[in-house]
């Protein structure tokens, strides 16, 4: 395949340079659940471009967002810091001054890369002007899926005298939020089919018997965020149809970038990572949007296609934090400094070594509902998923997630699981202390 065109000066030692510092492309969608790819479940959605990337790479089936809300999740991705450490658990929270020059873009640029960003940023200073350099990135395109892929392709076609790090950040399928509110979709068009052509309801459509009480309280109090509270079953089917069509819309845009990488001879030697900032309720538990800690919301897609990978078309089930582990992973590939404040780990060993040991014995996702002070945490171990909200009845949830992916049976109410429950409580306490999470006024450390 054709190599990148670079100047004669840069050609000196270019082979070793690009071998040690490959081009890196991070493609991100917004609000895409891990199951919304046809390589996972093609019953109602078709994503040929993401399927091809998964076929050429390694797909991590147990990847979880750092926080199920755009701003906090992206903060974790681009700083490597848990959002709760810096009180960044809500959208539009002020960005910590001490981290502004230590973001992923800064770190990779300092390692000799040209770092470019196209699309949705959604951290403070969200509307960053195109062509201005901020957070270590040159910004190619604003928050608009229309023309985003084309802006990336123009960048790819340029002559580069150094390796590049390109972020393509799409908004969709986030337009499902506007759809639920009966608003005009900003970056897509959805044709309403006949009802019989809409997806069926998920097996866990009805809330579980011992669901955390706070879930329905949040839904009732914040109707503009959760307008689905009065949805009929047929409304939910139309919602699912719209959601999957939006996923297909963004898959088509991603395909343009992948096709350009192939045509320019850049695909094979590049590190390409795909993920999403969080998922969506997708009608499970009668929930839309995010913030809650249901599996459909916190489990996100994560695919790595990289030179040096031990194989392709591979699934790995190790636990990874798609937010906190992203910065160390990209810095690892870029030979960039991994700052001491980054608490995640590089997953490169899992990409390059079939027999690599797991990097996390457990991971934590933290949340604060965007329109309220309600906080929550998830502790995920290889077999179990523990959820704790800071108020309400049944605020503790424990699931054997290996056999109960739909989260139907809350084991926290059974005495025989007390030891398992206490173990996960201890893991959460350990994590809170390690990350210096402010829990003042919130009962999260429970009696043993």
Q: At what angle do helices 233-263 and 148-157 cross, to 10 degrees?
A: 10
Question: Where is pLDDT greater, at 22 or 6?
Answer: 22
pLDDT digits (tens, 9 = 90+) for 123-134: 866 555 666 678
Could you write out the DSSP letters of every residue in 225-293?
Answer: T-GGGG--HHHHHHHHHHHHHHHHHHHHHHHHHHHHHHHTT-TTTSEEEEEES----TTGGG--SSSS-
User: How many whole angstroms separate alpha carbon 185 and alpha carbon 109?
Assistant: 35
Could you write out the DSSP letters of every residue in 428-440?
Answer: HHHHHHHTT---T
User: How many whole angstroms separate alpha carbon 80 and alpha carbon 330?
Assistant: 11
pLDDT digits (tens, 9 = 90+) for 301-359: 999 999 999 999 999 999 999 999 999 999 999 999 999 999 999 999 999 999 999 99
Give residue 122's pLDDT band: very low, low, confident or very high (50, 70, 90). confident
CA dihedral 176, 365, 117, 58 (to 10 degrees): -90
User: How many whole angstroms separate alpha carbon 115 and alpha carbon 307?
Assistant: 20
Could you write out the DSSP letters of every residue in 98-153?
Answer: GGTTSSHHHHHHHTT-EEEEEE---SSS-SPPTT-EETTEEEEE-S-STTHHHHHH
pLDDT digits (tens, 9 = 90+) for 89-121: 999 888 999 999 999 999 999 999 999 999 999
Residue from 79, 27, 24, 25 nearest 302 by CA: 27
To the question of domain 20-360 being in CATH 3.40.720.10, the answer is yes
pLDDT digits (tens, 9 = 90+) for 185-209: 999 999 999 999 999 999 999 999 9
Q: Mean pLDDT, to the nearest integer, of 12-36? A: 79
Which tokens go with 37?
């790819």
pLDDT digits (tens, 9 = 90+) for 208-256: 999 999 999 999 998 888 999 999 999 999 999 999 999 999 999 999 9
User: How many whole angstroms separate alpha carbon 115 and alpha carbon 131?
Assistant: 12
Task: Please give the mean pLDDT across all residues of the chain.
Answer: 92
- Whole-number pLDDT of residue 19: 61
Give residue 437's pLDDT band: very low, low, confident or very high (50, 70, 90). confident
**379 pLDDT above the threshold of 60:** yes
pLDDT digits (tens, 9 = 90+) for 413-427: 999 999 999 999 999
- Whole-number pLDDT of residue 62: 98
Burial pattern 316-339, b for ≥16 Cβ within 10 A else e, equals bebbbbbbbbbbbbbbbbbebebb
Provide the CA 190 distance to its chain's centre, in angstroms: 24
Q: Mean pLDDT, to the nearest integer, of 166-178? A: 98
387: helix, strand or coil = strand
Percent above pLDDT 70 for the chain:
92
DSSP annotation of 346: -
Residue from 2, 5, 25 nearest 14 by CA: 5
Q: Mean pLDDT, to the nearest integer, of 384-408? A: 97
Domain boundaries, given as residue ranges, for the chain: 20-360
- Whole-number pLDDT of residue 432: 96
């Amino acid at each position: 395949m054709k190599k990148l065109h670079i100047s004669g000066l840069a050609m000196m030692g270019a082979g070793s340079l690009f071998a040690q510092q490959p081009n890196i492309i991070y493609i991100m969608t917004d609000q895409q659940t891990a199951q919304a790819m046809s390589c996972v479940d093609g019953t109602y959605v078709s994503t040929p471009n993401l399927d091809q990337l998964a076929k050429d790479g390694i797909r991590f089936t147990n990847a979880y967002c750092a926080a199920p809300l755009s701003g906090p999740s992206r903060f974790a991705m681009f700083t490597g810091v848990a959002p709760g450490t810096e009180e960044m658990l809500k959208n539009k929270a002020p960005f910590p001054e001490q981290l502004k020059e230590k973001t992923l873009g800064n770190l990779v640029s300092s390692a000799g890369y040209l770092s470019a960003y196209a699309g949705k940023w959604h951290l403070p200073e969200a509307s960053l002007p195109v062509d201005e350099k901020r957070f270590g990135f040159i910004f190619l395109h604003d928050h608009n899926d229309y023309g985003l892929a084309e802006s990336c392709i123009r960048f790819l076609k340029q002559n580069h005298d150094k390796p590049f790090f390109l972020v393509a950040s799409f908004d969709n399928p986030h337009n499902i939020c506007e759809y639920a509110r009966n608003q005009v979709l900003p970056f897509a068009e959805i044709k309403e089919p006949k009802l019989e052509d809409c997806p069926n309801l998920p097996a866990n459509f009805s809330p579980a018997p011992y669901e955390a009480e706070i879930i329905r309280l949040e839904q009732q109090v914040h109707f503009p965020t959760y307008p689905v509270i009065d949805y009929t079953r047929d409304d939910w089917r139309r919602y699912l149809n719209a959601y999957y069509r939006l996923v297909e819309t963004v898959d088509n845009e991603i395909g343009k970038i992948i096709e350009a990488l192939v045509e320019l001879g850049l695909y094979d030697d590049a590190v390409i990572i795909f993920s999403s900032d969080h998922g969506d309720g997708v009608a499970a538990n009668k929930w839309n949007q995010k913030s809650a800690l249901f599996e459909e919301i916190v489990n996100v897609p994560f695919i790595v296609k990289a030179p040096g990978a031990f194989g392709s078309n591979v699934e790995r089930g190790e636990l990874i934090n798609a937010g906190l582990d992203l910065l160390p992973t990209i810095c690892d590939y870029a030979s960039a400094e991994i700052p001491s404040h980054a608490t995640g780990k590089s997953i490169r060993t899992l990409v390059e070594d079939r027999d690599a040991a797991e990097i996390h014995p457990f991971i934590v996702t933290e949340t604060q509902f965007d329109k309220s002070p309600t906080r929550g945490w998830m502790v995920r171990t290889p077999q179990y998923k523990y959820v704790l909200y800071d108020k309400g009845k049944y605020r503790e949830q424990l699931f054997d997630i290996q056999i109960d992916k739909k989260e139907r049976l809350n084991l926290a109410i059974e005495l025989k699981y007390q030891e398992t429950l206490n173990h996960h409580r201890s893991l959460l306490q350990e994590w809170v202390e390690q990350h210096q999470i402010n829990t003042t006024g919130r009962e999260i450390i429970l009696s043993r």
